[in-house]
Amino acid sequence: MNKRRALVTGGAGFVGSHLCDALLADGYSVVVADNLLTGRRSNLEHLRTDTRLEFVQQDVSEPFDFGPVDYVFHFASPASPVDYSAHGIPTLKVGSLGTFHSLDVARKYGAGFLLASTSECYGDPLEHPQKETYWGHVNPIGPRSVYDEAKRFAEAVTMAYLRYHQVNTHIVRIFNTYGPRMQINDGRVIPNFMRQAMRGEGLTIYGDGSQTRSFCYVSDEVEGILRLSRSDEHTPVNIGNPNEFTILECAQEVLAVTGSKSRLSHEPLPQDDPKQRRPDISKAKQLLGWEPKINLKTGLKMSLDYFRQAVGADKSSRT
Ligand code: NAD
Ligand code: UDP
């Protein structure tokens, strides 16, 4: 069998590092291109002695070429609202220029290509649950637009390389994914609640907590992504867990799993925060035979050791 080589942009991040594990297990050698803007070398520390994993510190918004590859997974981008607000222009650049450069590599080497897109393409959705056919309800000039519009543009570039250059492209719309290796201070709801619960601090509920999200454990997410990468499907596919929780319910789950006595504290709802989100996963089920297996309580339990260790090692008190 030929030795297959994959390029993972953003491979030192949360989802990207789990994808690297899965690709290595599948027999690929992997080159990671990551500028460490929001990722960490430590996410790949367990692979340091694996000679099939190569790390290159590279901003993929600049042109790059690390030699022939069979597959390009474009995962580089700040992903949490706190991170992409702090890095608005780099987020726009990696979604636009970074996507062009990653697609140029795939085109040059005749490689497959998969874009990590997002449920944020649906914005604050007026259709519920969200099907891939929904065009979305995005504020193009609001604070989330640096991310939402970058990803929508990235999808457009990807479809153009399919249509004009016949690159074998795929687009996954990832819904809220969680698990070990999330940065505990990136501001997303699960790391925030886990950290606050473990420290006995108030769990910060933004708004009245009635807004909803649907949380997918990372191993389920990566399995769906790999299946999509091997498929013939070129249009976007939702990969996420359709079990929907209000943020208040999510807080209760975290309190139950951690055994914490923390109280809830209310803070203002950020502008344009989507009020509801749940993937319709019929397309993934039908085309890929995929559906998630791990419910929120189980996934939180599977994440406990990681968050305990990360919270113990963290000296900051950023909330
Ligand atoms: P993350 O911040 O942990 O990982 C992103 C990685 O990209 C980091 O390692 C970062 O250093 C790297 N990066 C950012 N800009 C870069 C650049 N210009 N050049 C090279 N590397 C760069 O976030 P994540 O949660 O792992 O998200 C990974 C991908 O999945 C992102 O594209 C994100 O938009 C997408 N996604 C994630 C979720 C989720 O719930 N985790 C949901 C929807 C979409
Ligand atoms: N949220 C919250 N408290 C927090 C962090 C987030 O109530 O400490 C809410 C946030 O307003 C949003 C939801 O949890 O409604 C999910 O936020 P997150 O940043 O994880 O991801 P999003 O889905 O908004 O990109």
Per-residue pLDDT tens digits for 207-246: 999 999 999 999 999 999 999 999 999 999 999 999 999 9
Kindly list the distances between the CA atom of residue 213 and the CA atoms of 100, 139, 143, 267, 319, in Å, as whole numbers in the listed order. 31, 19, 19, 18, 20
Tell me the three state secondary structure of residue 273: coil
Tell me the three state secondary structure of residue 137: strand
Q: Looking at ligand 2, which residue's alpha carbon is closest to its atom 23?
A: 176
Ligand 1 near 179 CB (within 6 A): no
- Closest-approaching ligand to the CA atom of 214: 2
φ, ψ for residue 244, nearest 5 deg? -100, 135
Ligand 2 near 213 CB (within 6 A): yes
Contacts of 97 (CB under 8 A, 6+ apart): 61, 62
Q: How far is the CA of 263 from the centre of ligand 1 (A)?
A: 31
Q: How far is the CA of 213 from the centre of ligand 1 (A)?
A: 19
Q: How far is the CA of 68 from the centre of ligand 2 (A)?
A: 39
Taking the C-alpha atoms of residue 72 and residue 115, their distance in angstroms, rounded to an integer, is: 9
Q: How far is the CA of 189 from the centre of ligand 2 (A)?
A: 5
Contacts of 85 (CB under 8 A, 6+ apart): 143, 146
- Closest-approaching ligand to the CA atom of 43: 1
Q: How far is the CA of 79 from the centre of ligand 1 (A)?
A: 5
Q: Which of 291, 297, 293 is nearest to 279 (CA)?
A: 291
Taking the C-alpha atoms of residue 263 and residue 202, their distance in angstroms, rounded to an integer, is: 5
Give burial (CB, 10 Å; 0-12/13-18/19+) of 62: exposed
What pTM was estimated for this model as a whole?
0.98
Q: Which of 145, 205, 206 to mutate to test the pocket of ligand 2 (most atoms within 8 A of CB)?
A: 206
Ligand 2 near 188 CB (within 6 A): yes
Ligand 2 near 319 CB (within 6 A): no
**Rounded to a whole number, what is the distance in angstroms from the first to the last CA of the chain?**
50
The rounded Cα 314 to chain-centroid distance in angstroms is: 23
Interior/surface letters 27-36, b for 16+ CB within 10 angstroms, e for the rest: ebbbbbbbbe
φ, ψ for residue 250, nearest 5 deg? -60, -45
CA angle at 282 for the pair 277 and 283, rounded to the nearest 5°? 105
Query: What's the confidence (pLDDT) of residue 319?
Result: 45
Query: What's the confidence (pLDDT) of residue 3?
Result: 77
Specify the ligand 2 atom closest to the Cα of 188: 20
- Closest-approaching ligand to the CA atom of 174: 1
Query: What's the confidence (pLDDT) of residue 2?
Result: 61
Taking the C-alpha atoms of residue 218 and residue 224, their distance in angstroms, rounded to an integer, is: 10
- Beta strands 71-74 and 212-214, pairing class: unpaired
Ligand 2 near 119 CB (within 6 A): no
The DSSP bridge partners found for residue 237 are 172
User: Which single residue is written with the structure tokens 């999509």?
Assistant: 228
Active site residue 147: yes
Q: Looking at ligand 2, which residue's alpha carbon is closest to its atom 13?
A: 189
Ligand 1 near 92 CB (within 6 A): no
Which token pair is 118?
A: 């997002």
Of 71, 84, 122, 147, which one is the catalytic site residue? 147
Give me the residues of the chain with pLDDT under 50, please.
1, 318-319
Specify the ligand 1 atom closest to the Cα of 83: 2
φ, ψ for residue 109, nearest 5 deg? -100, 5
Q: Which of 200, 302, 203, 299 is nearest to 252 (CA)?
A: 203
Ligand 2 near 273 CB (within 6 A): yes
Q: How far is the CA of 154 from the centre of ligand 2 (A)?
A: 23
Cis peptide before 191 (omega within 30 of 0): no
